[in-house]
């Protein structure tokens, strides 16, 4: 176990501190959480910026993500190649955006990307069906799911093109006061 003087250089820690919402102590805590996921894979010395990716299967076993139905999408959105395997930068980025200090717009942007399952920059009806199915663990029947999706599109689609763009999503999020408190992972 290295202490913070050997894991990161001073400049690296400063950079992390300036670019995320975390303080030095929290960054070190997150580093040790990352390291615990794959002790043989993650080096104890990050001063040379090693290119190490922890595979998605290990990320998905974290207690904060293990029971989240969207964990795969979260990992895909924040990983570099969209495949769910995360470097330390991706890991810090993910928890920084999901922390309570991130502003609403930033969270809304990433939430939109998470719920956009086919990555076409629109939340279409198929994306909505996937979301609702995951939320209810498949316990609503197909008719109910499509009814819910229809009502969601009715309510949120501002320009009536049959799908939600990022602007529609953000306008809807502005009306939801709970969004900041639910789209938040404590680490």
Partner 1 sequence: MAQPPVFVLSVPETPDDPEGSQEPSPYDESEVHDSFYQLIQEQSRWAAEEGLELQQREPGPGALGALGDDHQALLGPEGVPVHSMATLRILASMPSRTIGRSRGAILSQLYNRTVRLRRRAARRPQLRDVGRSARPSLRLYDLELDPLVLEEEEKRVLLVKELQGLTVAQRDHVLRGMPLSLAEKRCLREESRTPRGKRRARQGGRGLPSCCSQLQDSCVLALHNLGLVLLSGLQALKPWRYALKRIGGQFGSSVLSYFLFLKTLLAFNALLLLPLLAFIVGVQAAFPPAPPASVPAFTGLELLTGGGRFAHTVLYYGYYSNATLSQPCASPPDGGQCPPEAGGLPYNMPLAYLFTVGVAFFITCITLVYSMSRSFGESYRVGSTSGVHAISVFCSWDYKVTQKWASRLQHDNIRTQLKELLAVWQLRRGPRSMCWRLRRVAVLGLVWLLCLGITLGCTVAVYSFSELMIKSPGSTEREGALLALPLVVCLLNLGAPYLYRGLAALERHDSPVLEVYVAICRNLILKMVTLGILCYHWLGRRVGTLRDQCWENFVGQELYRLMVMDFLFTLLDTLFGELVWRLISERTLKRRGKPEFDIAGNVLELIYGQTLTWLGVLFSPLLPAMQIIKLLLLFYVKKTSLMANCQAPRRPWKASHMSTVFISLLCFPSFLGAAIFLCYAVWQVKPSSICGPFRTLDTMYEAGKVWVRHLERAGPRVSWLPWIHRYLLENTFPIYLVSALLLAVIYLNIQVVKGQRKVICLLKEQISNEGEDKIFLINKLQSVYERKERSRPLPDPGTSLPSLYPGRPGRSS
Q: How far is the CB of 54 from partner 1 (least distance, A)?
A: 11
Site string for partner 1, 89-118 (x = CB under 8 A): xx-xx--x-x---xx-xx--xxx-x-xxxx
What totals of helices (H) and strands (E) does the chain contain, helices first? 11, 0
What 3-state DSSP class applies to 172? helix
Q: Which stretch binds partner 1 (CB under 8 A): 1-9, 28-36, 47-55?
A: 47-55
Q: What minimum distance in Å lies between the beta carbon of 18 and partner 1? A: 5
Query: Which DSSP category does 62 fall into?
Result: S
Structure tokens at 101: 């200090």
What span, in angstroms and rounded, lies between the C-alpha atoms of 31 and 44? Answer: 9
63 binds partner 1 (CB under 8 A): yes
> Binding of partner 1 at residue 64 (CB under 8 A)?
yes
For partner 1, which is the closer residue by CB, 32 or 147? 147
CA dihedral 77, 29, 182, 125 (to 10 degrees): 10
Contact (CB, 8 A) for 79 and 88: no
Round to whole Å and give the CA distance between 13 and 21: 12
CB atoms < 10 A from the CB of 58, how many?
15
Q: Does 61 bind partner 1 (CB under 8 A)?
A: yes
Which of the stretches 2-10, 28-36, 84-92 binds partner 1 when contact is defined by CB under 8 A?
Answer: 84-92
Structure tokens at 65: 């993500």
- Contact flags string 141-160 toward partner 1, x per CB under 8 A: ---x--xx--xx--xx-xxx
Q: How far is the CB of 5 from partner 1 (least distance, A)?
A: 17
Closer residue to partner 1 in complex, CB, 32/158? 158
Q: How many residues interact with partner 1 (rule CB under 8 A)?
A: 101
Q: How far is the CB of 38 from partner 1 (least distance, A)?
A: 9
Residue 13 Cβ, how far from partner 1 at the closest point, in Å?
A: 11
Residues 6+ apart with CB under 8 A from 107: 97, 98, 179, 180, 183
Instruction: Restricting to residues 11-40, name those near partner 1 by CB under 8 A.
Output: 15-21, 23-26, 40
Q: 54 - beta bridge partners? A: 86
């Amino acid at each position: 176990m290295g202490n913070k003087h050997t894991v990161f250089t001073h400049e690296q820690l400063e950079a992390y501190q300036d670019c995320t919402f975390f303080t030095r102590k929290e960054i070190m805590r997150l580093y040790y959480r990352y390291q615990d996921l794959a002790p043989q894979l993650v080096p104890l010395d990050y001063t040379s910026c090693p290119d190490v990716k922890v595979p998605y299967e290990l990320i998905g076993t974290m207690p904060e993500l293990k029971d989240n139905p969207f964990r795969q999408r979260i990992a895909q959105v924040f990983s570099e190649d969209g495949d769910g395997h995360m470097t330390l930068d991706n890991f810090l980025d993910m928890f920084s955006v999901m922390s309570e200090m991130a502003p609403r717009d930033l969270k809304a942007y990433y939430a939109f990307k998470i719920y956009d399952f086919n990555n076409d920059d629109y939340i279409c009806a198929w994306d909505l069906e996937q979301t609702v199915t995951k939320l209810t663990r498949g316990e609503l029947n197909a008719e109910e799911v499509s009814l819910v999706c229809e009502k969601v599109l009715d309510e949120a689609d501002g320009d009536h093109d049959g799908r939600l763009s990022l602007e529609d999503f953000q306008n809807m999020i502005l009306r939801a006061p709970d969004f900041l408190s639910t789209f938040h992972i404590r680490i």
